[in-house]
Chains A and B, each alone.
Chain A
């Protein structure tokens, strides 16, 4: 294996608003290999979606990428001219969004929206061929009678079906990397399960790398190979799914895991992390989590660096929970 599909190094994306600078992504690094699935976990406002948009080159003013590199198949795509970035987008890189009710254009038919995605990258393909490809992809994601459905408008689909259409659209040009931004959050649990299963299968079959952005650890547990936990724009813990979920070392990850209902003994109140995510506008110096952390001490007022407590694990904490981690 040569280069990983995607290598993100020290990515920094900030929004320059009137109220101040919001450092939404502040020195994030990770990588995803062919056919691998990375779970990017965090609460809302932790910078996970902005990370996704940064990779896609879809950060709009007043936001911009301030630093770091995004190596896609070995090539840095930060600051790539728009025509070249556009050629990658939807072709080699694809993205699926959270709310399937909003991602499809309400006044255009599904065929229009799918065919244009093909022709944007392959102008030489005829309409009939593009339509055939759209139909096949719809079938692939489990949409019955795709020929008929192509002629429908988005509002004629249910939420789950719309998300399948969006996924099919993302798959049209057989991308090498798909960024899925909470694509199942808005769906029913059963439909969520089906979609997760199908996406996982597709990623394995085609060798597509997948970044799955979510706040739901149970989704990550069943889907991903690796996991990155983000807090206030930074990666606080990283490692393989089994390691991180079984033996969290960062107090935040541990808190997240403890607040999952099934982790709590029946009949007792849910345990939760005290406090709220800090506003990125007024981030205190030092560890952003320290005011909610029971392990915090005076040293936490300075910013912790990434450490590697055991091989394959990276954690950003002065007081990692190492007692339970097998060496």
Chain B
């Protein structure tokens, strides 16, 4: 086909020609990644929300929040995508809503609750997310923040994470080498 000819000319190995394994989605893969690139653009937070939107919080507070969420993800053994989605939701929410420092952690756990519902097979309960904040927030507050986030993000919770792309890049880069994808899973 056209694609094959082009790849051959450029001396690039075709990694999308394994039709025998349905898990690899060989016939869809180009459409899938094209859509992922578009969707990445659409679901990207703004780059200057800290200066433009936020009044009470700053970059280092956000960094502290994210570091803490990494620990929460480890504590509850959440998969990497849950963490990546959490950060995506937080930043998208902060791109349009001013949040004060007392409620930044509330936003963090609420976003993590949403992403674990989306991604995990057994998501932690809302009580567990309250507990991990040392019960700084009530269950009702977490649920209310959850609604606020869902409404603001218009339920657009499906977003490509770095892992979606990394898996493909590693496959392309390691085409000639038998590199087990297990190493990637440990990320």
A and B co-occur in one complex: no
Q: Give A contacts to B, CB under 8 Å.
A: none
